[in-house]
Chains A and B, each alone.
Chain A
Amino acid sequence: MRPIFFLREALRGLSRSSAPALAALLTVLLTALVLGVFIPIVQATTGTANEVRSRVVVDVYVSDSATGEGTAELRRALMSTPNVESVEFISKAEALARAEDKNPRAFKEGAELLGSNPLPASFRVTPEDPDRIREIVEALAPNGQPRLATIDEVRNREEETDKILSATGLVKGLTATLAGLLVLASVALVANTIRLSIFARRREVEVMKLVGATNWFIRWPFVIEGIIVGFFGGLLAVLVLTVAKETLIDPLSEDFALLAAPDTIDFPLLAALLMLACVVVSALGSGITLRRFLRV
């Protein structure tokens, strides 16, 4: 009896004051749309930034005097260093081949002049956390002095690393701030619209209180209204997003593999999250805003 009564009350409220309800629905729809577009963009950006960051490496050059056993020992030592994710061995021959690849013309003539391969073998060490790359360098060669005899030199391509770290850091920070602001703005906008629609009915709430209704008796229909508005606003937004995705983005990504960025959120999950957020925000918005008018 009670839930049905509250539902009927909510529907009555929506139909009798449809203009503010429609405004609230529209607000929910628009903010959900903006969020729905922005979330994958943020993710694609951070994904790309992370991909760039993974290029930050430490090169550990092996001294030419190192035996095969010494090299193996060095690999073990590197693997057990904290913050090391993976270690890749590049032999002298490989190093030369790579150098040749990069600059074929110089090596065509140079190889004969040099006589022997001047490039040392090296380990390419990928860190788990690029921001803490200096820790690896410090651990392997404190103050530039290699800890093991088999290490000739430890280098982390200082300049390049710094650039990558600061640039990607900026991008990540900016998108995170933008996303945060956008979420805040959405919540504020939805809450405000709901507040207006309730404010228009504050007299009614007052009368209900004077007739002897308890707070929750008055509140439930408003919360249900909020749920309905949030649900339909979110649903419409998801529909629009689906249409946009099918018609605009999917054909593009087939052609360029451009927007299919590494790890953006799955569309069904995004849709579910948006719906949930819409419903929760507008239901809570209604319930909380009402509190002010219930103090009679």
Chain B
Amino acid sequence: MPSRMTQTRTETVRPRATPSGRDIPVVEFDEVTKVYDGGSIGLERASMKIGRGEFVFLVGPTGCGKSTCIRLLQKELEPSKGEIRIAGRALGEIPRSRVPYLRRNIGVVFQDYKLLPNRTVYDNVAYSLQVIGESRQEIRRKVPDILRLVGLSTKLHNYPDELSGGEQQRVSIARAFVNHPPLLLADEPTGNLDPETSIGIMQLIYRINRTGTTVIVATHDKEMVDKMRRRVIELREGQIVRDELSGLYRPDESTTEFAVRLRGELGVGAEGHPN
């Protein structure tokens, strides 16, 4: 018993001891289970480690636990079992009053953009700087910069309902990234967008990743995942079923294999094709 205690203690101390912090995963799930109040399972004994600067796709069908992961990371939900660590710090140990400070270090992009409807593009982005008490000069300097980066320098004073979906998502990305958080979460960022616009949004997220930000994207956009060939973590009914370093949306599958699976799922049977 005592030996175990010291062991866990050294484990929690270690992150602070290493100066560079390179070997601590930015995100670590340790046997995390989330059971919702109604009894449905969001996540079941999921373990994963995501290192600094990685670009990770969380894939899987709706209800597989992607959004649960994202919401757990923001401490919007509490895990039922297991532990989540961000940069070595266990989320369970962060008191409620400190949660806002955690969230300031995590940029989030949502499927439905979640912009503040009664603020202009400029003010929406400025809000996340005002929240951290940034001075006005800094805000005036940073906001136009980031909006130029996402390609919205002409729409500074428009309200969200005057923008297209792709533009709104760009604002949302600008807001998420304006503080330069070390971690960026995106929950179905292209879920409401057409393929053409989606590529632009993904490019933007990729560019953010190239600056050293760890990026986790939950998506079911198969085409995008297959083209980008980044690390893929596949979830199915709350469990991690696959974790590949440069994967496809589905594990490699030939056209015939796909056809077999398609027929199987339709319940037609392999030989039952009419022609």
Contacts and interface: CB of A to CB of B under 8 A. Distances in A.
A212 interface: yes
Nearest to B159: A16
Interface residues of A, number: 21
Interface in B53-74: 74
A213 B76 CA distance: 14
B242 interface: no
A164 interface: no
Contacts of B128: 211-212
Contacts of B117: 204
Given A5-B130, A210-B108, A212-B101, 13 more contacts: A1-B135, A13-B118, A203-B114, A204-B116, A210-B114, A211-B103, A211-B108, A211-B131, A212-B104, A212-B132, A214-B131, A217-B100, A296-B76
Interface size class of B (residues with CB under 8 A): 20 to 34
A139 to B, nearest CB: 63
A177 interface: no
Q: What DSSP secondary structure best describes chain A's contact surface?
A: helix
Contacts of A215: 100
A211 B131 CA distance: 8
A33 B147 CA distance: 50
Contacts of B116: 204, 207-208
A217 B100 CA distance: 10
Nearest to A207: B114
Interface in B123-137: 127-128, 130-133, 135-136
A1 B134 CA distance: 10
B175 interface: yes
A17 interface: yes
B170 to A, nearest CB: 16
Interface string A250-290: 00000000000000000000000000000000000000000
B67 to A, nearest CB: 13
A212 B104 CA distance: 5
Give the 8 A-B CB pairs with smallest separation, nearest first. A212-B103, A16-B118, A212-B104, A213-B131, A214-B100, A211-B128, A207-B114, A212-B100
8 contacts: A12-B119, A17-B118, A210-B76, A211-B131, A212-B101, A212-B132, A213-B100, A215-B100
